[in-house]
Chain A
Amino acid sequence: MFKDVEHLVRLAAVMLIALVAFVVLRAAVVPRSFGQYGHYRGAAIAEVAARPIAFAGHDTCEACHTDVVDQKKQGRHIVLSCEACHGALARHADNPASVTPPKLDTAVLCARCHEANSAKPKASPQVVTADHSGGLACDTCHQPHRPKIDTQPATKPATEARK
């Protein structure tokens, strides 16, 4: 039929080799889980999920520190998670003896939530700390787990309890 059919056979052979090489290489370099769920490496999902946690979660804290929970129940701070103030403590939960939570500076910590700011919702309890405590640490008067002071002082600072 064709005069120089040999050429075509050679060309076909070269293309076949290239195709085989492509298929083999592709199988070798594309990760096995690619395309498992979509156009990405399916194993990546488990890799992201395998990261260790830093915040233990309040359920873990409350399993041991029941006394603090009882205290918190008496005040409005019951809604706060322990680690909101105490920081990430999953390592402490894993090993309570060797990792202990750092002591907190209430003058800085409490002000982050309670320093008066016009952008804060009006219902949120706010004070101007300079007027309210004059730089004193908040835990001088308040117990952070149960912040309301039972016996109010005779002269109540004007800025206090803007609720």
Chain B
Amino acid sequence: MSEAVTLRIWRGDAEGGEFREYQTSTSEGEVILDVIHRIQAEQANDLAVRWNCKAGKCGSCSAEVDGKPCLLCMTRMDLFETDETITVAPLKAFPVSRDLVTDVSLNYELAKKVPPFNPVPPEPDGTYRMQQIDIERVQEFHKCIECFLCQNVCHVIRDHDDNKKHFAGPRLFIRVASLDMHPLDATDRKDLLADELGLGMCNITKCCTEVCPENIRITDNAIIPLKERVVSRRYDPVVWLGRKLRSRT
């Protein structure tokens, strides 16, 4: 059985735009992306929306629904009241390309600052071995689908344009954590984190964790452990003394 529904969708481009209201119908089990596709097919053929898998795994359809960053394909219509007008806007933190599509290339530019995986020398038999306990910590971070909802909701990026060039953001902190905690990686990224990626800018308000569709515990398992590693490097005289003593023996 279908029900009437009203959506306010942001239409425009980098120059500017406005919200336009569309009335259409929705059926049981649908998500917002289904309804937007219906509007696109029946009323606004030129409506731009990025999507791909419709299964919450490609990270393409990120947008803001009633002000909350989310994946359009994972936001069910039955979350809303039938007489409610649903507002759909593009991600606020990134420049709009057109309608609901934003230019997220900034994230790829920032990613170039992170040195890639650098394996330690192989064992004498020429192979690498890892224990499950050592690798499972970083496996959580590999679930990231690069939807950039965490980057979008992070107030350091979202509300302060001047920070965008020197603050890597939660997505890239996950990336660094997956490398820095890797049992076979040989590169030290702690100074990079403090000096160039702006780890100290994060004030751990956990919004990134709240919006992550993969339920990665970004703050608790990546950002705070990285902060603690930087503290050991920069602010812990006990660790500093221990390192000095070890290097002399």
Report whether chain A binds chain B. no
Mark A residues whose CB is within 8 Å of B: none
Mark B residues whose CB is within 8 Å of A: none
